[in-house]
A and B are shown apart, each in its own frame.
Chain A
Amino acid sequence: METLVMILTVFVLAIFIGFEIITKVPPTLHTPLMSGSNAISGITIIGAVVLAGEIGNPMLAKTLAMVAVIFATINVVGGFLVTDRMLKMFKKKG
């Protein structure tokens, strides 16, 4: 149960940090914020790779995890790239 308390603490504090930082994002950057944070939600990829690669995992679990790796990678790679494309347009023109 002690780990639960610890990770709950992390969860709650992280939410507060999130609120604090994101309230400061100006409306101009709301779309890149969405697509960038969206890419961050692809962090599930690390759960997916563990389950896809764990030796001795049942075949069904591995297959599902492999599809999860595909999904999460699309989310991560596509999300960060498209955000980068957008943000480059926001650079101040001289």
Chain B
Amino acid sequence: MLSMNLVNYSYLIAAVLFILGLKGLTHPRSAVRGNRLAALAMLIATVVTLLSGDFEFKYIIIGIAVGTIIGVVAAMKVKMTSMPEMVGLFNGFGGGASVLVAGAALISAMALAAGHEANTQMKVATVASGIIGSITFFGSYVAFGKLAEFLAVKWKLHLWQKIIKYGFSLAVIAGGIWFGIASGITPYSIGMMASAVLIGLVLWIKNARFPGMDALKIVAAILAVGLGVMVVLNPGNSMLFWTMVGVAGLLGVLLTLSIGGADMPVVIALLNSYSGLAAAATGFVINNNVLIIAGSLVGASGVILTKIMCKAMNRSLVNVLFGVMGPTSDTPDADEVYKTVKSTSADEIAMMLDTAQRVVIVPGYGMAVSQAQHAVRDLANLLESRGVSVEFAIHPVAGRMPGHMNVLLAEANVDYDKLIEMDHINPTMETVDVAIVIGANDVVNPVAKTDPGSPIAGMPIIDVDKARTVVIIKRSLSPGFAGIPNPLFAAEKTLMFFNDGKKAILELIEAIKES
């Protein structure tokens, strides 16, 4: 058994390593080492904790073994295009762990502290950890479900999607009712059961929004805080805590369910921040510095990413969480806007690229959906071998999570020096001969700058409209997330290549090779 001093010094080392690890992530060259330093810090903290007392290791070993197997399999199997779902899912597990630790700490404090009550700090922190953790857990599950396209959708689901969707719903309902009955029927256990049933039902429905949803969010938020106060005043009644967790979970579900696809980067970043804050709150529950430090680092990182994402869409966080984005009454009619659309072929684009000197490729979510990143890389290499300068222009909210496009292009071996941020590429867009937009829409819609009444007014865009020629690769003229037509598609200098992203690029490569 290690002395308490040694344990605390080791925690200090772990905390320093976490900070150095994150610092490593500020550059691609040092990032791999940074991540491993953070992992080492985690290992040190865990091992030291295991050696710090007399423990019964049965449950610990089972837990770590099961968790490691699931974690390794998930991390090795996941495709890079599914990374947003995976991060969302892992995030949820972090939040869930915080709730359970707070709940277990409450139960054990009540049992062990027979006589002297837990102090206020621990009670308040338990409440914070329970509420934030539960919002994170259920919110992350919803984010995962929406990204994996099985929650709040009307189309037919694959078998595995059905199993997860209905299995999770039923598990929440059944688990809630079983736990409520097993703990004895009281007004609070009925409240807990009711919130579990509500969560299950809301997750079952095929709509992202329903009447009264916003009101229900507010009621759930007030109830969760109210119950939190009651837990602080009366910590002996652990059912109060679980009712609070249930209501907070309902809030997490409602808050995330109504959020549209293009706002997902904000939500994932926000949930990331919550999972950190939940861990920090757990640190206050058990008086542990390393939890507080690691948790607040993560909390800060999530907050910054959330801010960057909101800024990149020119929307406030409240607007993302509560607002509806969609066409307004004065949105121009799509047929009217698209009267002068010109469709093109691979051969025609190949001819244009033959004389081009500078080409910029603008990827969007469509590139991820059609898994076109490798084909896009081949195209870029082919053009470069012919002396054309090729760059990639990356919009901060392109894709479904911060940095989504960068990861896909890195997977395809595109050098990160070639990925240019929006602010850096925009001033030179005039000198671009051909801009190729793959599966992006709203982030290149010039209406954001010209029409103050449009739902995307003020959102910074990549100025492809300034390039000499614009090629848009898109399956159809269907609108993007904002639901408004894009006049760029019908502009004089724009050519539309209607095709699946990957097929289009492959055809284009063939055409260039033949020319």
Which stretch in B84-92, B316-324, B440-448 binds the other chain? B84-92
Is there contact, CB below 8 Å, between A14 and B403? no
Residues of B within 8 A of A11 (CB): 280, 283-284, 292, 296
Q: Counting CB contacts under 8 A, is B279 at the interface? A: yes
Is there contact, CB below 8 Å, between B104 and A93? no
A48-94 CB contacts (< 8 Å) to partner B: 48-58, 60-93
A13-42 CB contacts (< 8 Å) to partner B: 14-15, 17-19, 21-42
**Chain B facing A: main interface SS:** helix
**Residue interface mask B92-112, A partner, CB < 8 A = 1:** 011011101101110110011
Q: How far is the CA of A59 from the CA of B45 in the complex (A)?
A: 25
Residues of B within 8 A of A44 (CB): 94, 97-98, 101, 278-279, 282, 291
Q: How large is the interface on A (under 10, 10 to 19, 20 to 34, 35 or more residues)?
A: 35 or more
Is there contact, CB below 8 Å, between A37 and B276? yes
Q: How far is the CA of A72 from the CA of B297 in the complex (A)?
A: 17
Is there contact, CB below 8 Å, between B55 and A54? yes
**Residue interface mask B429-466, A partner, CB < 8 A = 1:** 00000000000000000000000000000000000000
Contact pick for A66, options B32, B62, B93, B303, CB 8 Å:
B62
Which stretch in B19-27, B205-213, B248-256 binds the other chain? B19-27
Q: Between A and B, how many residue pairs show CB distances below 8 Å?
A: 385
Query: CB within 8 Å of B: which residues of A?
Result: 3-4, 7, 10-11, 14-15, 17-19, 21-58, 60-93
Sample (22) of A-B pairs whose CB atoms are under 8 Å apart: A7-B283, A14-B293, A22-B305, A25-B301, A27-B394, A27-B403, A36-B34, A39-B42, A47-B101, A49-B55, A49-B63, A53-B60, A55-B54, A55-B56, A57-B111, A63-B59, A69-B64, A71-B94, A77-B67, A77-B75, A84-B35, A91-B32
Query: CB within 8 Å of A: which residues of B?
Result: 15, 18-19, 21-23, 25-29, 31-32, 34-36, 38-39, 42, 45-46, 49-50, 53-57, 59-60, 62-64, 66-68, 70-72, 74-76, 78, 80, 83, 86-87, 90-91, 93-94, 96-98, 100-101, 103-105, 107-108, 111-112, 121, 268-269, 272, 275-276, 278-280, 282-305, 308, 394, 396, 401-404, 406-407, 410-411, 413, 415-416, 419, 421
